A and B are shown apart, each in its own frame.
Chain A
Amino acid sequence: MAFFLAAAFMAALGVLALAAPLVSPFDPVRQDMNAILAAPGRAGHALGTDDLGRDVLSRIIYGSRSALLVGTLSAFGSALVGGLAGLVAAMWGGVADVLVMTVMDGVLAFPTILAALTVVAVLGFGLAPVTIALLIVYSPVFARLVRTQTLIVKTEGYVVASRALGFGTAWVMARHIIPNIGGKVIVQASTVFALAVSVEASLSYLGLGAQPPTASWGLMLKDARNYLSLAPWLSIFPGFAVFLTVLSASVFGDSLARRLGREPSRL
């Protein structure tokens, strides 16, 4: 039940992000001087306006683009990079294994936000550096997962048989290993997606992620800080958006894991 709800929400969010220009009632960066800090329901703005007269609902809708883009790209990217590293480490073993896993362990040792901050400090502020930072930070998670799973699958009968029959490493990886560990990777990816959305919101809140006037939920929370008592709706709606998205992605990952009969990995 939870699985379907979560999946439905994620799908709806995806559609919203794609169809933003069609669904959004206003331009998210257009400033309406006559409707500054309007309460929800006033002047045709369903969720109110902010201190520059920009429509909150439109910014929430467009904000889904930033969140989904960063979340998807970093989850996908880190799965690819980390997964490949883990695969290489497991298949080739020896020096390659030690080298790759030492690097991955090094990155994993850093607290997530600190590591992301370091990367952003080097690359500059913005959503692109944040995505790259998250890609780097979450790769070790996939590297470990894929390496462990590959080591397990490697010893299965059908893999041993294939190798004995002379099939090359690449073929074995593609045909046997990846399909068998794919499920777990997808589950992990949903968890990473949830975390990525949360971290992107945090970094934008600190002013290091999305730059004004981009619509990003984290940036909306940052701007709303000064109006907490005067205009609480500016904090409530973006906060709710982040909360629902992260919750849905986490629930999706957990229920998928249960459906596939396996436990989700813990970070």
Chain B
Amino acid sequence: MNKKKFLFAFAVVAALCAISATAEPKRLVVALSGNPDTLDPQKTAGTLTFQVVKSVYDTLVEPDAKGMIVPGLAESWQVSKDGLTWTFKLRSGVRFHNGDPLTSADVKATFDRLKDAATASPKASEYAAAEFFAPSPLIVEIKLASPQAPFLATLASGWSAILPKSLIDSGWDFASKPVGTGPFVFKEWIRDSRISLDANPSYWMKNLPKVSGVNFQIIPERAVQIQGLMTGAVDIVDGVDPSDIATLSKNKDVRVDTNLSSMVLVLAFNCAKPELRDARVRQAISMAIDKKRVLDMVYGGGVVGGSFMDAGDPYYSDYSKVLPHDSSAAKKLLQEAGWNPETTLDLVLPENYDQHVKAGQLYQEMLALVGVKTKIRLVDWPTWLSDVYKGGKYDLTVIGHTGKLDPDGRLGGFGTDKTYVHWVNGEANDLIAKARTENSFPARKALYDKALGIMAREVPQVYVGTANSLVALRASVTGFIKTPKLDSFDFRWVETR
């Protein structure tokens, strides 16, 4: 009897050893600060979504590490002389995760779906003037109603992910089960817990990706993310707070990469409100704020730019001298404008962004020093989007604007009532509209410089500056790239030693 038990135990142990010997190479664990609202790239503008689906989908063209547009699913392209017809040649031999081969029919079906009113895509307007044709299986033709310089950048963005036609036609649930041509295949989404992706063994970039899979752990608490990183349970934490650096620097298995991000931080005004219509009031508020201090205390440092463009962008110009930090000048200007000190402004903050909530409290204090009273109101993210961004139910709000591959992505619509700040300025809008149709960089820069200059003086938003991006990683992780401008995660070259 004893001999039998011994043999049985031995067999079990042997089996376990065999299993662990053939265990998968390590999967990458990335902390995600919330549940994406959807995984359908056409139905959202949320960064959380794109941080995940960038690895599941590809686009016709993509940005390289410097932000230049390089081939993706399209291996080459040409533009007609009048700028109205773009012809893309697709790579051959690319397959979707469900086995379908990639053809021009998939590209046409993808963009037809994006433009379809039934999809209600927040990015549909970017393609409104484009018609897609599939003259042959590997050729895609796009006809524009008028020349559009930002068009290539739009095709490189996350929402231009290519979906398979067969699944579009069958009404597939892309919101919960993404299927693309990307380096990783979607495995599962356990809400509030994790999203798992497996490496795509037949990815069109040879020998990539290098890790066997990515687990996005949904951890809303930054302190828990940091703890996970320190113990090795998490490999990458994006968006580290400056106060964490002290703790992280003590651990030799962890490093922090600091780079200038493309996030422009603002204190935005609802310019339609009577109290805020006078530009002098807005200028005074801008001068009351010590922007460098806010960047250093809250956002991990950065560059004060004074302009609605991130400091690393080729179209950037430094407007920080236009409205420098000057409390006495601010008080004088408020007096000139006849500011009523009894007025209390409604300062709405998105409660899911700790940094914006903290910055809001700093702004409240700085404004109080020049005699502007504010009352803070915290709202959750869906409410911020519906009430503030779409509904205009606020006086002041704090938010960050992520980078765009083309300046029109940031500035398009400003100067009309259609933006969330409801600032109307015909001159600025004309300049921005004209720059969209120009194709040469010098011509566009001159136009954008003028428009940004107007915005720096009229301040529909207080431009606090461009934030630093702090990413904390395990020392064993190399090759991690954050897509410039889009701030989505590129894991193709990541290796964990």
Contact = CB atoms under 8 A, between A and B. Distances in A.
Contacts, number: 48
B148 interface: no
Contact of B361 (A33, A212, A228, A229): A212
**Could you say which interface size class chain B belongs to?**
20 to 34
B247 A207 contact: no
Nearest to B349: A212
Interface in A47-68: 51-52
B130 interface: no
Nearest to A30: B365
Nearest to A54: B361
Contacts of A31: 361-362, 365
A125 B365 contact: no
A229 B247 contact: yes
Interface in A188-246: 207, 211-213, 225-230
Contact of A51 (B243, B293, B376): B243
A130 interface: no
A138 B297 CA distance: 43
A211 B365 contact: no
Contacts of A230: 243, 246-247
Interface in B356-401: 357-358, 360-362, 364-365, 376-379
Given A226-B243, A226-B354, A227-B243, A211 B223 contact: no
A226 B223 contact: yes
Interface in A116-153: 125
A36 B378 contact: no
Q: Interface SS of chain A: helix, strand, loop or mixed?
A: loop
B221 interface: yes
Interface residues of A, number: 19
Contacts of A227: 223, 243
A85 interface: no
Given A31-B365, A52-B362, A212-B357, A225 B223 contact: yes
Contacts of B361: 31, 52, 212-213
A213 to B, nearest CB: 5
B293 A52 contact: no
Given A212-B376, A212-B378, A225 B221 contact: yes
Interface string B243-260: 100110000000000000
Given A31-B365, A52-B358, A226-B222, A211 B243 contact: no
A256 interface: no
A198 to B, nearest CB: 22
A230 B223 CA distance: 10
A37 interface: yes
Contacts of A229: 223, 247
B247 A37 contact: no
Contacts of B458: none
Contacts of A226: 221-223, 241, 243, 354
**Most B CB atoms within 10 A — which of A31, A51, A226, A228?**
A226
Contact of B376 (A36, A37, A211): A211
B376 to A, nearest CB: 5
Given A51-B243, A125-B377, 6 more contacts: A33-B297, A207-B351, A225-B221, A226-B222, A227-B223, A229-B223
Interface of A: 29-31, 33, 36-37, 51-52, 125, 207, 211-213, 225-230
10 contacts: A31-B365, A33-B293, A36-B297, A51-B358, A207-B378, A212-B349, A212-B360, A212-B376, A226-B223, A226-B354
